[in-house]
Chain A
C-alpha cells in the first residue's frame, strides 16, 4: 500500500510540475538590461523606501501606543492598533517581496556561470529560504498578535535586509548614473550640448 501511495504521489507530482512547466511565463533574457534595472529598483525601494531606521522605528514605535493608551478612548485605541497592524503587515510583505526579487536576481546571475559550486548554491538556497521563513513567521506573528508582537524580529528583518542591500549594491554599482557635470557640457568642444 505504501508503494502504491508513493508511486501515485510521484505520478501526480510529475503531471502537476508539467502543468506548471507548460503554463510558466516567459523567462527573461539572461542578464538582460530589464532584469538588472528591476534589481536596481528593488534595491532602491528597500534602501530608501522600506528599510530606513526612522521608518521602521515609526511603524513599530511603542511610544505611540503608550500615548494613545493614555490619551484616547478604547475605540480610538483599537482603531490605532488595527491601522498599525495593517501598516506593519504591508511593510513586512513588501520587504519579503523585495528579498524575493533579490534572490531571483542572484539566481539570474548565477545561471550565467558554467561551473557553479554545488555546495555553495545549496547553502545559499537554504539560507535564503531561512530568511524568507523569518519574514513569513513575522507576518504571522503580526497578524495574530498585532504590531507589537515581535520587536526583536522586526529589527532583525530590517537589519538583515539592509545587509542584503549593502552587498547587492556592490554588484549593481555600474547601474548608477553619474550626474552630468555642467562645466564639461561645452558645445564648442563636443559639437553638441545636452
Chain B
C-alpha cells in the first residue's frame, strides 16, 4: 500500500467518523436518515477493508468491488434523500425526480440483466468498472434533473442540502470522467484513476463534513397553496399562451 493510499484511506475513515459524530452530537442524524445510513455503511466498509488489507492483502482486491457495489447502491439513497429534502413541500416535483430515478436506474439494471442473459461470458464482477460507470451516469442524470428543477423554480436550499449535492456531484462527476478514461486507455490509466477516485472521494467527505457540521436545513418554506388556486393560475397562463400561439401562427401566414 502506498503512502498516498494509506493517507486517503485513514483520512476517509476519520472524516466519515467526524460526520457521524457531529450528527449524533447535534441530534440531526434522523433528519437525513438515508444520507447517514450511507455514511455509516462506507465507514463500516472502509474500516473493514482497511483491516483486511493489513491481515490478508490478497483478499482485498476481490472484496473491493463487492463492497464498492454495496456502497454504490447505498449512494442512491443519498440522491433519494436530496430529492426528499429539496422538494419537501412540492409533491409533483418530488414525483418527477423519483420517476427520473426509477427510469434511469431501471434502465441500467435492465441493461445488466440483458447482458447477463444474452452474453454468456459477461459477468458483473469482471465488468465492474463498466457497471460502476453506468450507475454513476444514472446518478448524474438524476442529480442534474434535481438541480434543473430546483433552479427552474428557484427553490431555496439550506447549507446542509447544498453541501450534500456539491459533495456527491463532485465525486460522481470525477468518477464518471476517470472511469471513462480508464475504460478507454486501459490499465495504463489505472494509477491516475485510483488517485482521482480517492481524491474526489476525500473532497466529497470534506465538503460534507463542513456543510453538515451543524443542522442548517435552510429557510422554512411558506405553507403550500391549495390545488384549486393553482388551477386558476394555470388556467390564466394557458389562456395567455393560447392567444400568443394563435398570433404567432397568424404571423407565419403573413
CB pair A14 B230 closer than 8 Å: no
- Tell me the residues in window 169-183 of chain B with beta carbons closer than 8 Å to chain A beta carbons: 169-170, 172-174, 176-177, 179-180, 183
Q: What is the 8 Å Cβ interface bit string for chain A, positions 81-106, against chain B (1 contact, 0 not)?
A: 00000000000000000000000101
Whether, in the assembled complex, A69 has its beta carbon less than 8 Å from a beta carbon of chain B, the answer is: no
Whether, in the assembled complex, A41 has its beta carbon less than 8 Å from a beta carbon of chain B, the answer is: no
Interface centre among B183, B229, B238, B247 (most CB of A within 10 A): B247
Closest to B233 in A: A109
Whether, in the assembled complex, A73 has its beta carbon less than 8 Å from a beta carbon of chain B, the answer is: no
Q: What is the 8 Å Cβ interface bit string for chain B, positions 128-158, against chain A (1 contact, 0 not)?
A: 0000010001001101100110011111100
The docked-state distance in angstroms from the alpha carbon of A164 to that of B250 is: 17
Q: What is the 8 Å Cβ interface bit string for chain B, positions 211-254, against chain A (1 contact, 0 not)?
A: 00000000101101101011101101111110111011011001
Whether, in the assembled complex, A130 has its beta carbon less than 8 Å from a beta carbon of chain B, the answer is: yes
Identify B244's interface contact among A10, A28, A163, CB under 8 A.
A163
Binds A, one of B4-12, B62-70, B88-96: B88-96
CB pair B240 A120 closer than 8 Å: no
CB pair A114 B173 closer than 8 Å: no
* A14-B144, A163-B240, A164-B240 given; A7·B251 CB < 8 A: no
The docked-state distance in angstroms from the alpha carbon of A108 to that of B151 is: 11
The total of chain A residues at the interface (CB under 8 A) is 57
CB pair A124 B236 closer than 8 Å: no
CB pair B244 A127 closer than 8 Å: yes
Whether, in the assembled complex, B1 has its beta carbon less than 8 Å from a beta carbon of chain A, the answer is: no
Q: What is the 8 Å Cβ interface bit string for chain B, positions 50-83, against chain A (1 contact, 0 not)?
A: 0000000000000000000000000000000000
Closest to A131 in B: B244
The docked-state distance in angstroms from the alpha carbon of A156 to that of B241 is: 13
Looking at the assembled complex, report how far the CB atom of B28 sits from the nearest CB atom of chain A, in whole angstroms.
Answer: 23
Whether, in the assembled complex, B39 has its beta carbon less than 8 Å from a beta carbon of chain A, the answer is: no
Looking at the assembled complex, report how far the CB atom of A188 sits from the nearest CB atom of chain B, in whole angstroms.
Answer: 41
Binds B, one of A16-24, A43-51, A52-60, A178-186: A16-24
CB pair B233 A110 closer than 8 Å: yes
Closest to A114 in B: B224
* A112-B225, A114-B89, A130-B245 given; A14·B219 CB < 8 A: no
For the complex of A and B, list the 7 residue pairs with the smallest distance between their C-beta atoms, beginning with the closest: A114-B224, A152-B254, A11-B176, A111-B153, A156-B251, A167-B240, A127-B241
| B positions within 8 Å CB-CB of A | 89-93, 95-96, 133, 137, 140-141, 143-144, 147-148, 151-156, 162, 165-166, 169-170, 172-174, 176-177, 179-180, 183-184, 219, 221-222, 224-225, 227, 229-231, 233-234, 236-241, 243-245, 247-248, 250-251, 254
| A positions within 8 Å CB-CB of B | 4, 6-8, 10-15, 17-18, 21-22, 24, 27-31, 104, 106-118, 120-121, 123-125, 127-128, 130-131, 134, 152-153, 155-156, 159-160, 163-164, 166-168, 170-171
